[in-house]
Each structure stands twice: as C-alpha cells, then as structure tokens.
C-alpha cells in the first residue's frame, strides 16, 4: 500500500484550481480528501489540523497565498498572507513559506504608479502558484536528502522511538524523522519503531502508525507514559523526532511531550536526534524561550476520541508544543547533513 500525496494542486475540467489535502482528522478511520478552493478553506484546514506538521502547513499556506493571488492579484495575496499567518504560531515554516510566496507575487506585480498591463493580475497569480509548486517540490527533495544523511545514524536493527508524526503526512512527502527511518528501512537496516501515541491529538496513534503500516515498517504503538520504562529496560537504541522551530542556539520546539522524551533519553544515555529542513531553523529567534507556543482548545484534553473523559467544568491546559534545550539534542539532521553541537552558524 502506498501513500497518496499529503497535498497537491488539482485543476478541474473547467480549469479551476484547488488545493487537495488528505483530511488527517479522519485518519485512520478513512482516507478522505478535502479540496480547498478559498483562502478561508485553507486557513480552516490548517487551524483544525486537517493538514498539520510544520513543512505541510508551510506548503499548504503557500498554496493558500496563491489561491488569493489567482483570485484577486497582489492585494488579495497580501490579505491571504495575513489570514494564513494567524492560523498557528509555532511552526516557522508557515511564515517562511508565506513570505516566499508573497515575495514571488510582489516581484510579478507592476511597480506602484505604473500603467497596469492587461494580464498583470494573472501574472501575480501565476508567480505565486509557481512558488508554491517550488516549495512543495523542494520539500520532498529535502526530506529525501535528510533521509540519505540520517541513515548513517541508524545502526542495523535499531529500535527507534519517535513522538508525534514527522512523516509523509507532516510534509509534502517522505517525511523528516520518519523519512530518516524510511531511508534506513530502504537501505536494508531493518529498524523497528516504538510509536508514542502522542496525547492529546494522537498524531502517533492515528497518523504515524497508519503511515508505518502502509510502508510495511515494523512498529509498535505505546502510550506516551511508557517511554521511560522502555528505555530503562534497554529496549530503545535511539530517539528521532521532527521540529516545528529550531532557535539559533539549537533549542527545538516540537510536539508537547518531546521534552520529556529528551530528558529520559539523556538520563538513559540514548541518542536523541532531530530531523528538520533548514526552513525550520529560525535564525531570528535567539533561544527557545522566544518561541511562541500554541495553546489549543482544552476540549482536546478533556475528550479522548470524541468521548468526554473529565468531569464537566474541569479546567484543562492544552499546550501544543514544548521546547527541548539544545543540550539534550545529540544531533540535528537537515537536507545539508548531520550537525552536531556547538552549532556555530549556520546549523
């Protein structure tokens, strides 16, 4: 069983374009697709986690800006950029992709005050769409490059623990942390994977487990709280996770629970690797303390799979991400190679 594209641009028989996404809210129950034809639809899909994972939301937002530009030229593209930027604060790939796509749209727009040539709005839309296509294609290529660098970190038969979903579904294709595992599998290293369920949204149980099953990579689902026990009993050889934003000093923001896993890994002397494209590195953010951590609806914590599990009226806190200090990270894998601290710039 293969993996369909996480997101792609489709054009119908009337010539109208749409961003088609795997609707990740419905996995693993059903593989369903969502066609986004407006900027608002793309923004909703990002906010509600129909598409999620730092590189995937970056590419989706780029297509969202292109949808705006195709519909209403540069002014609409700029408005789309503002709307999409406000959807989720932590993953820097979102702002990075919006900025790139807007720059492409602006470079195709007439100079202020210049006579507007017929087709100028079309040129802005085409430039933005071309940029979104480039971002999407580059993401897959960069994940494959990350895989080829990261494979050196994976010994034969390694038992790997991962948290959240940093795979095909979190990217345009192939994956970052799961991309490294995938590259090791394709190289015949026979890795096996412990999949943290990743409370509260269950990206591990719902998405990583689904993906690894489809790829045929042996994996076992565990409750998040089991990581320490597995490490203590000698059943974990290394940890690899993705990232939403890496500060200039190497601190890593990733899915809530990542920090706990990193502390456990250090306590047990187990390597803790992060795989992320260079677009996740935010040189403008000095340390992890400066990273804005998204807080989501407490209902994600008080419910489990739609069932209420807490007393009515019980307050709940739902931080979506945490920061793992650079000192707990053994190495960062990007499309350029394996980087070990101290990270004298650039990572």
Catalytic residues: 244
Instruction: Report in angstroms how near the CB of residue 219 gets to ligand MRU at its nearest.
Output: 16
Q: Any residues with CB less than 8 A from the CB of 329 and at least 6 apart, and which?
A: 250, 252, 262, 272, 273, 274, 341
Helices (H), 21-119: 39-47, 54-85, 92-107
User: Which residue number has the CB closest to ligand MRU?
Assistant: 242
86 is written with which tokens? 């406000």
Question: For residues 244-261, b (16+ Cβ closer than 10 Å) or e, as one string?
Answer: bbbbbbbbbbbbbbbbbb
Find tokens 């303390």 and name the residue: 289
Instruction: Report in angstroms how near the CB of residue 166 gets to ligand MRU at its nearest.
Output: 4
Closer of 254 and 285 to ligand MRU (Cβ): 254
Instruction: Report in angstroms how near the CB of residue 197 gets to ligand MRU at its nearest.
Output: 13
Length of the chain (residues): 347
Closer of 77 and 211 to ligand MRU (Cβ): 211
Closer of 52 and 182 to ligand MRU (Cβ): 52
What are the residues binding ligand MRU (CB under 6 A)? 52-55, 91, 164, 166, 170-171, 176, 203, 242-244, 254-255, 320
Q: What is the CA radius of gyration of the chain?
A: 20
Closer of 23 and 78 to ligand MRU (Cβ): 23
Closer of 121 and 247 to ligand MRU (Cβ): 247
Residue 145 contacts residue 335 (beta carbons within 8 Å): yes
Beta bridge mates, 252:
246, 324
Beta bridge mates, 134:
none
């Amino acid at each position: 069983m293969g993996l369909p594209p996480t997101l792609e641009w489709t054009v119908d028989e009337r010539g109208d374009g749409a961003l088609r996404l795997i609707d990740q809210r419905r996995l693993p129950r059903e593989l369903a697709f969502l066609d986004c034809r407006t900027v608002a639809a793309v923004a909703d899909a990002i906010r509600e986690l129909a598409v999620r994972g730092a590189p995937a939301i970056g590419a989706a937002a780029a297509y969202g800006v292109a949808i705006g530009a195709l519909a209403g030229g540069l002014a609409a593209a700029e408005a789309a950029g503002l709307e999409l930027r406000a959807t989720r604060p932590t993953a820097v790939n979102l702002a990075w992709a919006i900025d790139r796509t807007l720059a492409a749209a602006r470079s195709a727009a007439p100079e202020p005050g210049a006579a507007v040539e017929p087709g100028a709005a079309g040129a802005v839309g085409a430039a933005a769409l071309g940029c979104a296509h480039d971002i999407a294609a580059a993401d897959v290529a960069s994940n494959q490059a990350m895989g080829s660098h990261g494979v050196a970190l994976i010994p034969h038969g390694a038992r790997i623990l991962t948290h959240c979903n940093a795979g095909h579904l979190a990217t345009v294709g192939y994956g970052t942390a799961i991309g490294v595992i995938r590259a090791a599998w394709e190289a015949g290293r026979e890795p096996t994977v412990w999949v943290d369920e990743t409370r509260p949204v269950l990206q591990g149980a719902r998405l990583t487990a689904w993906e690894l099953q489809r790829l045929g990579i042996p994996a076992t689902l565990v409750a998040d709280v089991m990581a320490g026990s597995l490490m203590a009993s000698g059943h974990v050889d290394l940890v690899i996770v993705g990232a939403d934003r890496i500060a200039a000093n190497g601190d890593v923001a990733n899915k809530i629970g990542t920090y706990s896993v990193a502390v456990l890994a250090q306590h047990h002397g187990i390597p803790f690797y992060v795989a992320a494209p260079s677009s996740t590195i935010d040189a403008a953010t000095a340390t992890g303390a400066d990273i804005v951590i998204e807080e989501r609806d407490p209902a994600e914590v008080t419910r489990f799979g739609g069932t209420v599990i807490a007393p009515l009226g019980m307050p709940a806190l739902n931080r979506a991400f945490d920061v793992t200090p650079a000192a707990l990270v053994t190495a960062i894998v990007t499309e350029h190679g394996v980087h070990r601290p101290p990270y004298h710039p650039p990572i």
